[in-house]
Amino acid sequence: MKNSLFVTLTMFLFSVSVCSCSAAESQDIVKTTRANPETPISCGTDGAWLQVLGSGGPEINDKRASSAYLIWLNGESRILVDAGSGAAYNFEQAGGDFSTIDTILLTHLHVDHSADLPAFIKGSYFIQRSNHLPIVGPDGNSTMPATDEYIQRLFNETSGAYKYLGDYLEDSDKQSDYKVSAIVYQSAFKTKDNKINISATPVTHGPIPALAWRLDIGNKSIVFSGDMGRGDESFINLLKNTDYFVAHNAIPQSATGFVRNLHMAPDRIGEYAKAGNVKNLIISHRMNRTLGKEVQTLEEINKTYTGPVSFANDLDCFELK
C-alpha cells in the first residue's frame, strides 16, 4: 500500500507543470519541469533569452525565490538583473556560469533584490573568473545608501559586514582573481563586446531610489520595471517599442493608499504597456496577495493593453525573438 501511494504521488508531482500561465497567454515559455534534478534547467543555446531566477518578492511562504533575472546570449550567461534571496541557488539550477557574467544590474537595494550578492561573490572563489565585474545601481538618499556605498558596507576590508571578501573590491591592494567595482548609474553603457546596450531611468518606489533597466541586444530589447509605483515620461521613452516588458505585480487591483506609490496595480501595468507599445508583457514579482488573482489581473491589464501576457515562475525561459 505504501509503495503504491508513493508511486501515485510521484507520478502526480511530475505531471504538474511549473508554469501557472492561463490559456489567454500566448507568449511562448520553456517549461521548467524536469525528471532529473541534476540536469540544469537551461534556456536555448542560440540567440538571446531571459531566464527568471526569482519571480517572487520578500515573502518566505510564497514558494518562490526573490527578484532576479538572467540574460543568456548564445548559450552564455551574461547579465544578472537583481539578486534577491534564492538567486544564487537558481543560478546554479539554470546552469549559469558566473565567469561569463558581464555585469550585475540592481533596480534598487531592498533585501529581496540584493540579498544574494555576497553569495555570488563568495561562490566565485571556487570558479575560474578573471574579468572585472561592475555592479551598477541607483544613487542613494537619506533612506538608502547609494550603490557604491552599499557595496562598501558589505565588503570593505576593514569595516564591511563581509570584510573577509574585501580583497575583491577594486580599491583593495590585496590579490584576488578579479575585482568588483560598484557604480552609481549615470548614463547608458555597453558590454565589453558591444553586443548589449544598457540604459536606465529613475522610477518612483515610494522613498526608495530605484531604476528601471533596458537592455538592447541586437534588434531585440527588454525592459525591467523593478519595483515601482509610477514612472514619468523618461520611463515611457525607455519602454518605447520594447519587445519584452518585465513588470512587477506586487499588489492587486483592490489595493489602496500608499502601497500604490510603491507598486503598480494591474491597470497601471496595462497603461504603461500600451503607452510604450510593448510587444510582450511578462508579469513577475508575484506575491501571495496577487497569486491566484491572475484572471482578475489579466482583465484589468486587457482594458488598455491587448498584447501577449505571461505570468512568470522561477526558472521559466523566454526567447527574445
Q: How confident is the model at residue 30 (pLDDT cuts 50, 70, 90)?
A: very low
Residue 141 has pLDDT above 60, yes or no: yes
In angstroms, rounded to a whole number, what is the distance separating the alpha carbons of residues 135 and 98? 13
Q: How confident is the model at residue 42 (pLDDT cuts 50, 70, 90)?
A: confident
Q: Which CATH number fits domain 43-319: 3.60.15.10, 3.40.50.1980, 3.20.20.70, 1.10.3720.10?
A: 3.60.15.10
pLDDT at 270: 98
DSSP 45: S
Q: How confident is the model at residue 134 (pLDDT cuts 50, 70, 90)?
A: very high
- Neighbour order of strands in the sheet with 68-73: 180-184, 133-137, 103-105, 76-83, 68-73, 48-54, 317-319
Per-residue pLDDT tens for 301-315? 999 999 999 999 999
Residue 70 has pLDDT above 80, yes or no: yes
Residue 10 has pLDDT above 60, yes or no: no
Residues of the chain with pLDDT > 70, as a percent, come to 88
Residue 215 has pLDDT above 80, yes or no: yes
Residue 19 has pLDDT above 70, yes or no: no
Per-residue pLDDT tens for 246-258? 999 999 999 999 9
Share the mean pLDDT of the chain: 91
* Helical axes 266-275 vs 294-301, angle rounded to 10°: 40
Residue 118 has pLDDT above 80, yes or no: yes
Per DSSP, the chain holds a count of helices (H) and strands (E) of 9, 14
**Dihedrals phi, psi of 107, to nearest 5 degrees:** -75, -40
Interacting residues of 199 by C-beta distance below 8 A, sequence separation 6+ = 187, 188, 213, 214, 216, 238
Per-residue pLDDT tens for 165-180? 999 999 999 999 999 9
Closest CA to 204 of 183, 184, 246, 233: 233
pLDDT at 40: 78
Q: How confident is the model at residue 116 (pLDDT cuts 50, 70, 90)?
A: very high
In angstroms, rounded to a whole number, what is the distance separating the alpha carbons of residues 296 and 318? 23
Higher pLDDT, 268 or 33: 268
pTM: 0.89
Residue 158 has pLDDT above 90, yes or no: yes
Fill in the amino acid letter for 220.
K
Residue 21 has pLDDT above 90, yes or no: no
Q: How confident is the model at residue 38 (pLDDT cuts 50, 70, 90)?
A: low
Per-residue pLDDT tens for 181-194? 999 999 999 999 99
Confirm if 67 and 84 have CB atoms less than 8 A apart.
yes
For the purposes of burial, counting CB atoms within 10 Å of the CB of 20, is it exposed (0-12), middle (13-18) or buried (19 or more)? Answer: middle
